[in-house]
A and B are shown apart, each in its own frame.
Chain A
Amino acid sequence: MNFWERLGKIDRRIIYLVVFLGVIIPILLKVTFRVEPMREVKQAYEEVEKLPPGSAVMISIDYDASSMPELQPMLVAILEHCFKKDLKVIMLGHWPLGLPLGQIALDKVAKKYGKVYGKDYVFLGFRPGVAAVMINLGKEIRQVFNSDYKGTPIDSLPIMQNIHNYNDIGILIGLEAGSTGDMWVQFAQARYNAKIILGATAVVAPDLYPYLQANQIVGLIGGLRGAADYESLVHVLGPAYLGMPAQTTIHVLVVILIILGNLGYFATRRKK
C-alpha cells in the first residue's frame, strides 16, 4: 500500500485524536470569531425584544445533561435577555432529568440582575404526561401546577396573578433535544395560538424548519451556532460564542478528511 492508498484507510483512532485536538486547541487558546447572526435567530431575538416590560415569558426545559453544551448557553442568553428587559420568567420542563439544569441557570442569571423569586420569576417544575400538560396549560395553568417546585401554592406568588393560560404569556420558548418541540407546536400553537420560539440542538433543528416556514413558530435558535448568535445579540459572550472557533475547526477538519479519503479512494481504484 503506497502513501496515496493509505489515505483512504486512516485508522479511526488517528481521526479521533485529530478531532480531539481540533476541539481542545481553539478552546485553550481562546480564539474568537465574529459571528453574523442567522436570520431565524435574529427573528427570535426581535420577537422577545418587542414584548412590553412586565410581560411573561414561559421557558420549557425539554433537554437533559447530554445536550447541555448546546442548549445551556442558549438558555442563559435568553434569560439574560428576559431579565435585562424586565420580563417575567415562568420556567417548567418536560424532561425531568434536565430540570435542575434549568433551575441552576435561572437562579444564577436572576441573581445577577437582582430579581426576586415569586415576583420576577418562578420555577414550576415538572408534571407527567407531556400532551396533557400542554393542553391543560392552554385552559388554566392551575389545573396542572397548583404549586411551584417547592410546594408553594402559585396563587400566593405575585408573578402568577393574572396569568392563567397561554393568553397571558407573551412568548413560549421551548428548548428542545427531542420531539417535544413538535408537540408544543401541535398543542400550544395549533390549538391555542400560542406564540412559540424553539431553540434546539443542531440535530433536531432541521426538523423544525418547516414550522418556521409555516409561521407556526416565530423564531428558531439552532445548535451551538444559534446559541452563539443569541449571545452576540444580547452582548453576553458566553461558552457558545467561545465554542465557535472549535466548531469551525472541526467542520474544516471533517471536510479535509473527506478530501483525503477520496484521494485514497481514487488511488486504490486506479490500481485496480
Chain B
Amino acid sequence: MTALSTVLLFLIVQFPAPPQNVRAYDTPNDAGNSITVTWDLSPDDSVVSRYEIYRSKGEPSIDSAVVVGSVLRGSTQFEDNSVENNVHYYYFVRAWVDTLYADSKWSAAAYAKPQWFHTGRKSALVILIFFGILLFYYLQKAKQGAELYIRRIAGLEAVDEAVGRSTEMGRPILFILGLGFVSDIPTLAALAILKRVSKKAAEYESEVIVPCYDPVVMTAAQEVVKEGYMEAGRPDLYNERNIYYLTADQFGYAAGVDGIMVREKPGAVFLQGLFYAESLILAETGHSIGAIQISGTTAVTQLPFFIAATDYTLIGEEMYAASAYLSKDPLSLSTIKAEDVAKMVFVALFVLGVVLETLAVITGNQSFHFLKNWFALF
C-alpha cells in the first residue's frame, strides 16, 4: 500500500500543470483559412518538452479532436492554417513532459474569415494618400508652368563632359548596368541615364558598349540606346551588337567587364545600377586604365567603394533624380519637388518622435508612445 501510494504520488507530482487561458481567434489581416491560437505558458514550462495544439470542429469534443501542430517550450502562439472559412472550431493545448501530459481547458469557438482591409497598414495608407496629394499638387503647379528649382548635381553635370572627353580621345564609352534586373528601380534609373549618354554619343559619333548581366535588361538597354541614337538623328550609327549579354554569374560578370575595359580602353566608364561585392573590382580596373568614371547606386554598402575609386558618384536618390534632372521635364521635376517636401515632413516627424520617446522614458508615461505605435503598425 505504501509503495503503491509512493508511486502514485510520484506520478502526480510529475504531471505538468496545464497551459492556461487558451484563446482562439480569426488570424487578422489575411485571406482567410487561418485561426490563431494563443495561451499562457504552463507554470512548469521549464520541464515541458513541447505543446501540442488540438482542434475540434463544430463542438468541443475530445473524440473528434485532431492534432494540428506542435511547438517548442516557451512558445505561446500557433497559427492553424488548415481550417475552412466560416466554420466553428474549438481548441485546447496539451503540454508534454516525457510521456506525461496535461490538457488545458477548451477555447471559446472561433471561425476564420478573409479581410477586405489590412488594418495593420493604416499608417502606410495615410502616408500614401498624403504623398499622392502632394504629388498632384506639384503636378498641377508644373502644368501651370511654375518654375521648379533643382540643385546642381555634379555627377550628372559631368555626364556630357565624360562623353565628350572620351570622344576626343577616340575611345568608346562603357556603360555598366550592374547586377540589377528590370524589376529593380535603380536599373530603370540607370537606363534613363544610358539614354542621355547614348544620345550624346550619337551626336559625337562615339560608340557605346553595354555588357549585360540579365537578358531582359539587355533587351531594354538595346531599345534605350536605339532610341537615344534616333533622337540624335543618327539611327545609322546604332549597332545592336555593342549591347550584349555576358553572364548571370556575379564574378564571371566582373571578370568579363574587366576584360572589356583592359582590351577596349574606354575613355569614359559609367557604373550605374545595382552593385554588390564586384563594385570595387570594376571601379579600380576602370581607374587603372585612366577612364573618367561616373558611378551611381542605391546599394549603400557599395557607395564608399565608388566614392573612393571613381570621379563622380550619384548617391542613392540622386540617381533616381537623374532622368528628371537631365531631361528638365517639368512633370518629372514636380515629383522630385513632392519627394523633397515629403522628406521635410518626415524629418519633422523624426524630431517629434525623438522628443516623444525621450519624454516617455523620462516620465514613464506610456501614452507618449502613440506616434511610435502608430508607425509600428505596418
Chain A residues with CB under 8 Å of chain B are 12, 55, 66-67, 97, 139-140, 162, 164-165, 167-168, 170, 177-178, 193, 201, 203-204, 206-207
Chain B: how many interface residues by the 8 Å CB criterion? 18
* Closest residue of B by beta carbon distance from A191: B79
Alpha-carbon gap, A266 to B86, bound state (A): 78
Q: Is the CB of A168 within 8 A of B72?
A: yes
Alpha-carbon gap, A162 to B300, bound state (A): 41
* Interface flag for B332 (CB, 8 Å): no
Beyond A66-B250, A66-B277, A203-B277, whether A164 also contacts B69 by CB under 8 A is yes
Q: What are 8 A-B residue pairs whose CB atoms fall within 8 Å in the complex?
A: A55-B72, A66-B277, A97-B249, A162-B70, A167-B78, A168-B72, A177-B277, A203-B301
Which residues of B (116-130) have their CB < 8 Å from a CB of A? Answer: none
Alpha-carbon gap, A140 to B33, bound state (A): 14
* Closest residue of A by beta carbon distance from B300: A207
Which residues of the other chain, A, contact B250 by a CB distance below 8 angstroms? 66
* Closest residue of A by beta carbon distance from B75: A167
Which residues of the other chain, A, contact B78 by a CB distance below 8 angstroms? 167
Alpha-carbon gap, A201 to B70, bound state (A): 35
CB of A130 to closest CB in B, whole Å:
13
Which residues of the other chain, A, contact B79 by a CB distance below 8 angstroms? 139
CB of B288 to closest CB in A, whole Å:
7
Q: Is the CB of A206 within 8 A of B75?
A: no
Beyond A66-B251, A139-B81, A193-B77, whether A167 also contacts B72 by CB under 8 A is yes
Alpha-carbon gap, A201 to B276, bound state (A): 12
CB of A191 to closest CB in B, whole Å:
10
Which residues of the other chain, A, contact B71 by a CB distance below 8 angstroms? 167-168
Beyond A139-B81, A164-B69, A206-B301, whether A178 also contacts B276 by CB under 8 A is yes
* Closest residue of A by beta carbon distance from B284: A12
CB of B332 to closest CB in A, whole Å:
29
* Interface flag for B88 (CB, 8 Å): no
* Closest residue of B by beta carbon distance from A54: B49
Which residues of B (41-81) have their CB < 8 Å from a CB of A? Answer: 50, 69-72, 75, 77-79, 81
- Beyond known contacts A164-B69, A203-B277, A204-B301: 16 more, CB 8 A cutoff: A12-B288, A55-B72, A66-B250, A66-B251, A66-B277, A162-B50, A164-B70, A167-B72, A167-B78, A168-B71, A170-B72, A178-B276, A201-B277, A203-B301, A206-B301, A207-B301
Alpha-carbon gap, A67 to B277, bound state (A): 10
Alpha-carbon gap, A80 to B35, bound state (A): 39
Which residues of the other chain, B, contact A67 by a CB distance below 8 angstroms? 277
Alpha-carbon gap, A203 to B304, bound state (A): 11
Alpha-carbon gap, A33 to B288, bound state (A): 36
Alpha-carbon gap, A204 to B251, bound state (A): 17
Which residues of the other chain, A, contact B70 by a CB distance below 8 angstroms? 162, 164, 167-168
Which residues of the other chain, A, contact B288 by a CB distance below 8 angstroms? 12
* Closest residue of B by beta carbon distance from A67: B277
Which residues of the other chain, B, contact A66 by a CB distance below 8 angstroms? 250-251, 277
CB of A30 to closest CB in B, whole Å:
29
Which residues of the other chain, B, contact A97 by a CB distance below 8 angstroms? 249
Which residues of the other chain, B, contact A206 by a CB distance below 8 angstroms? 301
Which residues of the other chain, B, contact A164 by a CB distance below 8 angstroms? 69-70
Alpha-carbon gap, A2 to B76, bound state (A): 73
Which residues of the other chain, B, contact A140 by a CB distance below 8 angstroms? 81
* Closest residue of B by beta carbon distance from A163: B70
Alpha-carbon gap, A97 to B247, bound state (A): 14
* Closest residue of A by beta carbon distance from B274: A179
Alpha-carbon gap, A61 to B129, bound state (A): 40
Interface centre among A177, A193, A203 (most CB of B within 10 A): A203
Which residues of the other chain, A, contact B69 by a CB distance below 8 angstroms? 164-165, 167
Which residues of the other chain, A, contact B81 by a CB distance below 8 angstroms? 139-140
Alpha-carbon gap, A66 to B253, bound state (A): 13
Which residues of the other chain, B, contact A165 by a CB distance below 8 angstroms? 69
Which residues of the other chain, A, contact B249 by a CB distance below 8 angstroms? 97
Alpha-carbon gap, A165 to B78, bound state (A): 10
CB of B267 to closest CB in A, whole Å:
20
CB of B23 to closest CB in A, whole Å:
17
Closest 4 interchain pairs by CB? A167-B71, A139-B81, A66-B251, A167-B75
CB of B337 to closest CB in A, whole Å:
30
Which residues of the other chain, B, contact A204 by a CB distance below 8 angstroms? 301
CB of A162 to closest CB in B, whole Å:
6
Alpha-carbon gap, A203 to B251, bound state (A): 16
* Closest residue of B by beta carbon distance from A206: B301
CB of B51 to closest CB in A, whole Å:
9
CB of A187 to closest CB in B, whole Å:
14
Which residues of B (288-308) have their CB < 8 Å from a CB of A? Answer: 288, 300-301
Alpha-carbon gap, A10 to B77, bound state (A): 63
Interface centre among A12, A66, A97 (most CB of B within 10 A): A66
CB of B166 to closest CB in A, whole Å:
23
Alpha-carbon gap, A209 to B245, bound state (A): 36
Which residues of the other chain, B, contact A168 by a CB distance below 8 angstroms? 70-72
**Binary A-proximity of B297-330 (CB < 8 A = 1, otherwise 0):** 0001100000000000000000000000000000
